[in-house]
Amino acid sequence: MKSILIIGLGDFGHYLCRDLADLKNDIMAVDQDETALEDLLDIVSDSLIADCTRENVLKKIGVSDFDICFVCISGNFQSSLEITSLLKDLGAKYVVSMVRSEVHAKFLLRNGADEVIHPNRGAAMRAAVKYNNDHIFDYIDLKDGYSIYEITPLKEWESKSILSSDIRARYGMYIVGIIRPDGQTSFMPDPQTVIREGDHLMVLAHQQVVDKLMRKLR
């Protein structure tokens, strides 16, 4: 479970809030519009009606106490930029900002955002899964509970081949790709390929399998 601040509860902020709540995270939601918060009060730990472009508001919230701060302001890039910058100035650990264009992305990344997200329903779910766990780096939803995850390998798999680590039989997951630390990617790797320290594995697996695996990685 992570402590998460979400600023801005438009469509994307709502989806993100609900998806992160479903993953059992501790969430504080903030918006200037009281009605934007009404249907989220039963799933968030705390909420606030406030203008986060005001530095004293963010100081009161205590942004440095959160593991991740999301800025999901839609329709007002200036406010998004100001809030992103203020969050970082006030010691926010990790800031993820919503963007509408690549130009906006460049400005936000230069002014405090650690990462940016282009908003849509799928992006909200991917962000929720990714930021919920430090060992999941990306996620593609398929169907019937199955997805492709980019994950950290277990220590016991390192320096072993895919075949000798017996991942498919023991964990019910298929390795469909390996991303090396230098960015080189191998899709559908040979069973004799050795898993190295620092690799990311792209695995096809059911959510229950990945949830069990993530508990071993914590």
User: 91-130: buried (b, 16+ CB within 10 Å) or exposed (e) per residue?
Assistant: ebeebbbbbeeeebbebbeebbbbbbbebeeeebbbbbbb
For residues 187-200, give the mean pLDDT: 93
Q: Is the pLDDT of residue 37 over 80?
A: yes
| Average pLDDT rounded to a whole number, residues 74-82 | 91
Note if the pTM is more than 0.75: no
Q: How far apart are CA 105 and CA 119, in angstroms?
A: 12
pLDDT in tens, 175-190: 999 999 998 999 999 9
Q: How far apart are the first and last CA of the chain?
A: 11
Judged against a pLDDT cut of 90, whether residue 145 lies above it is answered with: no
